[in-house]
Amino acid sequence: MDHSLALYHTIFVSFFFTSTYSQSEVSASRAKPSALFVFGDSTVDPGNNNFIQTPMKSNFPPYGRDFINHIPTGRFTNGRLVSDFVASYVGLKDVVPAYLDPTLTIEDLKTGVSFASAGSGFDPMTATLSSAISIEKQMEYFKEYKSKMEMLIGKENNLDLIKNAAFMLSAGTNDFIVNYYGLGEQVTQVIYPNVTSYRNFLFQNIEQFIKELMNEGARKIAMVGLPPIGCLPEVITLNKYSATHGRICVEPLLSVATDYNINLQNKLKDMQTPESRLYFADIYKPILDMIQFGTSKLGFEEVNVGCCGSGYIEAAVLCNMNSAICDDASKYVFWDAVHPTEQAYYYVFTIIRPVVDTVLNDYKN
């Protein structure tokens, strides 16, 4: 790293910590949601998988190395997730807890929880492949949550809580890289012989899920798009395309993600109602920017391998206490061979923050 880049990296890291710890203070005077409820996969699972039988766990070192008190909570990264930064920024709390955590207090529950499960997706088969909590089951847990809260705070207060809450959905990656192009390929590609038909199937499930959320009282729902799935280190390692073209992003899968995101935005526009607002959060561009320009503009040193192990294939149990770990995860875009580092997640948050601000502004209207 040359001196100018090293200086840029120092400034970036300094900004990271300064901004992170002042977020709640900055946003304290603004209108804010009553709670944040999160659904999805490992990108927003803070530890629900700790409490189910699944190989998709990360509640052991070196996961959580840079989290509060260095605790491996079950988050698939070294620190916090985008959903944690959102909750802090809007002034709710520092981190979003896992719904299945039996130690949660009433106050923990009142300000929102995550129902997400690593390995899940919008296709029920995707969750089955990883023994994860399906999106349908996450909805059941949300309904269970509502029943609990009604007993704790009363019916009217509970209705207001849900009505004034923000909802976040982040899933879809596993549907493609684990299911359609992975373990479920032989079955799923027979049912859906082309990726467009499979995408439309996922959209049907997404629409059904969002409508059910609306029926349950949700009024502000943010939908996260797909990342550049062809750039995940594990995907690069395992893909035949990369064997021919070298360690670069898999272009055909990038096309799948961009097509999905464009059509998802159109779907969300069509689903808008007078009572509810739907928002799209684009994580594709910020992650691709880190990969393409991270070493020249953003202070990253490694953009296509993970910090854990070789960085080519390790995730979940393959990233463990016996794995070699990089010295400074903030210089890596990826923590393991699938999931970003806390530093990368924070950069994504800074780019999608205008979407969060739009949601906050809607609370004034």
Closest residue by Cα to residue 249 from 261, 239, 260: 239
Edge-to-edge strand list for the sheet holding 220-224: 36-40, 166-170, 220-224, 277-281
The catalytic residue positions are 42, 336, 339
Nearest to 302 by CA among 341, 337, 332: 332
Please enumerate in sequence order all residues whose Cβ is within 8 A of that of 154, keeping only pairs 6 or more positions apart, or say none. Answer: none
Query: What does the alpha-carbon distance between residue 293 and residue 322 come to, in Å, rounded to a whole number?
Result: 32
What DSSP assignment string belongs to 175-239? Answer: IIIIIITTTTHHHHHHHS-SHHHHHHHHHHHHHHHHHHHHHTT--EEEEE----GGGSHHHHHH-
Which of 123, 101, 339, 112 has the alpha carbon at shortest distance from 234?
A: 339
